[in-house]
Structure 1
């Protein structure tokens, strides 16, 4: 009996999740630190790295008598924790051009959580006489860097089998966009400001309840020539609306001409609300949030109120919560328009302003 070999033998991996960081310590006035007795250290400020609190211990004359001719450096865990902390760490001069073996830990070091001041480091970091002749000492100062990786979790997992078939992302929007561009199979024409746009009833009806009612419901007039006039809208805005209906994305020029994007987004938001394109409405709201400023906030806030854009309205209120912004904006034409068209919003702003002054 023969057994067929599997084309993809099982494979697994042991993965160690780690957090990484580093700390820079400068010893300024090295010669003055040399008076520190052997076995006594100077401490860096406490710093937080990889979720734990640490200090660096600097021994100018070695951490014990055997290493009195050396500078010793240690990384110290400056807190007690519930479990063992496993790390890989390295201390080196910041101007080092090579990785010296004596400065690197190739093994996993453990800091035992119940023992505060647990340390790892190098007793023989560098011989003091060699250090004082080296390029590392400049103007009686030197700087070291401590790199740290804390091993948070070690897990085993099955490795995915090799893929022989790659499925590309959907290109439906591209095909529908081509359908709009070519007009093949179009069965309805819109006329806006003297320009005509051919489209497909079935697609527009699937995207908008307003189009559905207009094209297939009771609003459809029998015996018409399938030309629908759209008033109170610019042709370029309707073009952008159709493009979104077919591709679920904005026209490229809408996204690149930043000096015109804010105005286009205002008009497109109105069109999206008119034809019940909720996602397009939210896209326009999000974009308009970045255009809120002293001169535009009044106009944008009026637009948000009239078209029920709660997020955009909150962004305007947040901007106007600054007394400085409120004072400057209230003198603009847009704010005067806001006071005339949306008196209820002005009442809310007055109440907000009163609360901020009383706070």
Structure 2
């Protein structure tokens, strides 16, 4: 069954982004169609040196509730809000969540840090960063392959 969720939007505000260490950060948990989700941000994720990127992923945060051989399909948008020009950076993802050990899916190279730190781009305003996720479609299916 395919579901187009009614309440499918989550906004994560990170205050003082520039003070974050080089580490993984997780949003608070949010619920869409009875499933618990969270966002994972790696402040200095993909790349090295001058070509370092912010990494961003959506994670299904209740895999333990999945019955064996079940998968959750999600089509979603990950977005970093441009707070000045409204030229948001967004990427659309389709992914099957099924790993019982936990998994997330998104982009190791979502946004170059040089672009993030460029104040004319509008992603960081007074140190604040807005990350958004909109889950457009969810489907749960049984895996008949085994």
Q: Indicate whether 1:120 and 2:105 are aligned.
A: yes
Match of 2:9 in 1: 22
Higher helix share: 1
Taking a change above 3 Å as real, the CA distance of residues 64 and 51 of structure 1, as seen in their structure-2 partners, is: farther
Match of 1:349 in 2: none
User: Is the contact made by 2:50 and 2:114 (CA closer than 8 Å) also made in structure 1?
Assistant: no
Q: Distance in 2 between matches of 1:67 and 1:86?
A: 35
Q: Distance in 1 between matches of 2:35 and 2:126?
A: 33
Provide Cα deviations, 1:26-68, integer angstroms capped at 9, x if missing partner: 11011111x22xxx41111112122111111111101576996
Taking a change above 3 Å as real, the CA distance of residues 113 and 143 of structure 1, as seen in their structure-2 partners, is: same
Q: Distance in 2 between matches of 1:47 and 1:124?
A: 24
Q: Distance in 2 between matches of 1:76 and 1:66?
A: 27
User: Is the contact made by 1:62 and 1:124 (CA closer than 8 Å) also made in structure 2?
Assistant: yes
Q: Distance in 2 between matches of 1:18 and 1:67?
A: 40
Secondary structure (helix, strand or coil) at the match of 2:115 reads helix
Match of 2:92 in 1: 104
Structure 1 residue runs of 4 or more that deviate by more than 4 Å after TM superposition? 63-68
1:42-53 equivalence runs, <5 A: 42-53=25-36
Q: Distance in 2 between matches of 1:67 and 1:54?
A: 32
Q: Which runs of 5+ in 1 are unaligned?
A: 1-14, 155-359
TM-score (norm 1): 0.33
Higher RCO (CA 8 Å, separation ≥ 6 residues): 2
Q: Which runs of 5+ in 2 are unaligned?
A: 142-146
User: Is the contact made by 1:79 and 1:113 (CA closer than 8 Å) also made in structure 2?
Assistant: no
Match of 2:139 in 1: 152
Q: Indicate whether 1:86 and 2:97 are aligned.
A: no
Higher strand share: 2
User: Is the contact made by 1:67 and 1:123 (CA closer than 8 Å) also made in structure 2?
Assistant: no
Rg larger in structure? 1
Match of 1:143 in 2: 130
Q: Distance in 2 between matches of 1:29 and 1:60?
A: 12
TM-score (norm 2): 0.76
Provide Cα deviations, 1:167-199, integer angstroms capped at 9, x if missing partner: xxxxxxxxxxxxxxxxxxxxxxxxxxxxxxxxx
Provide Cα deviations, 1:278-320, integer angstroms capped at 9, x if missing partner: xxxxxxxxxxxxxxxxxxxxxxxxxxxxxxxxxxxxxxxxxxx
Q: Indicate whether 1:129 and 2:114 are aligned.
A: yes
